[in-house]
Amino acid sequence: MTIKNICCLGAGYVGGPTCSIIALKCPDIKVTVADLSKERIAQWNSEKLPIYEPGLDDVVQKCRGKNLFFTNDVTTAILEADLIFISVNTPTKTIGNGKGRAADLKYVEGAARMIANVSKNDKIVVEKSTVPVRAAESISRILTANQKPGVSYQILSNPEFLAEAVCEATGADFSEVARAIVFDSRIGSKFLQASIDHPIAEVNQLFSAANAMLAQRISSINSLSAVCEATGADVSEVARAIGFDSRIGSKFLQASIVSGKKICILGFAFKKNTGDTRESPAIYVAKTLLDEGASMKIYDPKVEEERIFEDLTHPSICEVPEQVRKHVTVYQDAYTASEGCHAIVICTEWDEFVTLDYNKIYDGMMKPAYVFDGRKILDHKALIDMGYHVQTIGKKLGRPMVTRCWSSNPAI
Ligand SMILES: NC(=O)c1ccc[n+]([C@@H]2O[C@H](COP(=O)([O-])OP(=O)(O)OC[C@H]3O[C@@H](n4cnc5c(N)ncnc54)[C@H](O)[C@@H]3O)[C@@H](O)[C@H]2O)c1
């Protein structure tokens, strides 16, 4: 089959950027990204895209209206497509069996049913959503059980391995998308290459295994981090030494944020170069602070105020949304956000936080002034020289009298 029309169900963090790059690299192919959300599609068709990814604005500007389209007309998009990506959300289940652990597949199944109901000619259906092993077989069952005469499906599994905010860095050549090589830049390619010729279960197994390996790594380095804090060692040095072992490699051996009591939160996205806040450490840091009765001044270069309040007033985070409105204020820059604060917490590793004028910030803060560098991006010695008390992950710092700077005692 010659592919002339591609449709993607789901205009999210995966569907939007992936299809924009496909449109850029494959000008002869019409790429339509279809979503049920009117708001999301309106944003994709506006000057302010719903997702921040370095270089994405330029790509969309170049292709939108030529061979790249964003639409709510899911039916027409499916009808016209030769190849359909399923890139819909698979949130963690909040009720029933597997609550808090398992992926909720209702949107994937909903997408499969739509394809089955609408299709009038042969389709290649590519599952990109993160689904458990053998989920593609259930998509296959839905499609074949509802198959119309003369319509046949090829179902492929190509779970998304790209990480957000690395669009430019990966330089992935999506014109080779048909080869669909699975590659996870977060771990390294040596053990993780599989083509779509592999059985569906095997590719998904690979993806689940890769995620489990990542989780294991992060968990191990966070445990080591606690040991380093207690013993006075520097977890970065330990991670660097371990990373020299070529069987391990250095990626994902960076210790991440732990919670504590702080006032000015710099960064709310789950990592730099994205506006995505899902499962962001900042949410849990903020929750802890709210529980402790602290007030917070928050600044993030790319996360909108509305998003921050939606995250913090979610029922899983707080029971009294009014408390959030009362205790949290969102600012447009780091200087005003830190003004009058006792402490700054770096929750996201945005580059601009490295180059802030910390002398100026110090002058505007309450004394003693604390910095908790939850991302290990700042020059701690320079901050200590300026007068700050500095805490970071997995490293005991030199200022005398400072072991733990966070306490529920307002006098500290
Ligand atoms: N975000 C990432 O970095 C990343 C990385 C790897 C894998 N994944 C996986 O990729 C999948 C998509 O993730 P995302 O971050 O893009 O999700 P997202 O929540 O940003 O977007 C999903 C979109 O799908 C839409 N949708 C739901 N059902 C639909 C339907 N039947 N037809 C059309 N649109 C529909 C929703 O309205 C939503 O806009 C998930 O399974 C996720 O786990 C995400």
Residue pLDDT, tens place only, 109-129: 899 999 999 999 999 998 888
Q: Is residue 238 part of a domain?
A: no
Domain that holds residue 67: 5-180
Q: Is residue 56 part of a domain?
A: yes
Ligand 1 geometric centre to CA of 38 (Å)? 15
Q: Is residue 219 part of a domain?
A: no
pLDDT (0 to 100) of residue 16: 94
25/128 same-domain check: yes
Q: Is residue 234 part of a domain?
A: no
Average pLDDT of span 170-175: 41
pLDDT (0 to 100) of residue 202: 44
Distance CA 112, CA 128 (A): 12
pLDDT (0 to 100) of residue 242: 67
Residue 145: band (very low, low, confident or very high) from pLDDT cuts 50, 70, 90: confident
Q: Which tokens in the block code for residue 185? A: 């830049």
17/156 same-domain check: yes
pLDDT (0 to 100) of residue 182: 35
Q: Is residue 410 part of a domain?
A: no
Ligand 1 geometric centre to CA of 129 (Å)? 7
pLDDT (0 to 100) of residue 96: 63
- Of 154, 180, 206, which residue is a domain's last? 180
164/31 same-domain check: yes
Ligand 1 geometric centre to CA of 16 (Å)? 9
CA–centroid distance for 169 within its chain: 16
22/116 same-domain check: yes
399 or 162: which leads in pLDDT = 162
165/58 same-domain check: yes
22/142 same-domain check: yes
Concatenated DSSP letters for 125-171? EEE-S---TTHHHHHHHHHHHTPPTT--EEEEE----PPTT-HHHH-
Ligand 1 pocket residues where CB is under 6 Å: 9-15, 34-37, 40, 74, 87-90, 107, 110-111, 114, 128-130, 160, 163-164
Percentage of the residues of the chain whose pLDDT score is greater than 70: 70
pLDDT (0 to 100) of residue 174: 38
Q: Is residue 245 part of a domain?
A: no
Choice among 80-89, 99-108, 192-201, 337-346 with the minimum mean pLDDT: 192-201
pLDDT (0 to 100) of residue 264: 96
Average pLDDT of span 45-50: 95
Question: What is the tens place of the pLDDT at every residue in 350-361?
Answer: 999 999 999 999
Choice among 82-91, 234-243, 253-262, 377-386 with the minimum mean pLDDT: 253-262
13/158 same-domain check: yes
Q: Which atom of ligand 1 is nearest to the CA of 91?
A: 43
**DSSP H helical ranges for 313-373:** 321-327, 334-338, 351-354, 358-364
Q: Which atom of ligand 1 is nearest to the CA of 159?
A: 7
133/270 same-domain check: no
Distance CA 365, CA 387 (A): 11
Beta strands in 36-160 (DSSP E): 68-71, 83-86, 123-127, 153-157
CATH code where residue 376 lies:
3.40.50.720
Q: Is residue 408 part of a domain?
A: no
44/176 same-domain check: yes
- Of 180, 211, 227, which residue is a domain's last? 180
Q: Which residues contact 3 (CB under 8 A, 6 or more apart)?
A: 29, 82, 83, 124, 178
pLDDT (0 to 100) of residue 398: 59
30/176 same-domain check: yes
pLDDT (0 to 100) of residue 136: 73
- Of 140, 162, 180, which residue is a domain's last? 180
Distance CA 35, CA 349 (A): 31
Q: Which atom of ligand 1 is nearest to the CA of 131?
A: 41
Domain count, the chain: 2
170/273 same-domain check: no
Residue 317: band (very low, low, confident or very high) from pLDDT cuts 50, 70, 90: confident
pLDDT (0 to 100) of residue 123: 92
Pairing of strands 153-157, 123-127: parallel
pLDDT (0 to 100) of residue 138: 75
The SS3 of residue 307 is helix
167/56 same-domain check: yes
Q: Is residue 244 part of a domain?
A: no
Q: Among the ranges 17-31, 144-158, 283-297, which has the highest mean pLDDT value?
A: 17-31
Residue 163: band (very low, low, confident or very high) from pLDDT cuts 50, 70, 90: low
pLDDT (0 to 100) of residue 364: 94
Q: Taken in order 388, 383, 259, 266, is the CA torsion positive or negative?
A: positive
pLDDT (0 to 100) of residue 192: 31
Q: Which atom of ligand 1 is nearest to the CA of 129?
A: 41
pLDDT (0 to 100) of residue 248: 66
pLDDT at 228 over 80: no
Percentage of the residues of the chain whose pLDDT score is greater than 90: 45
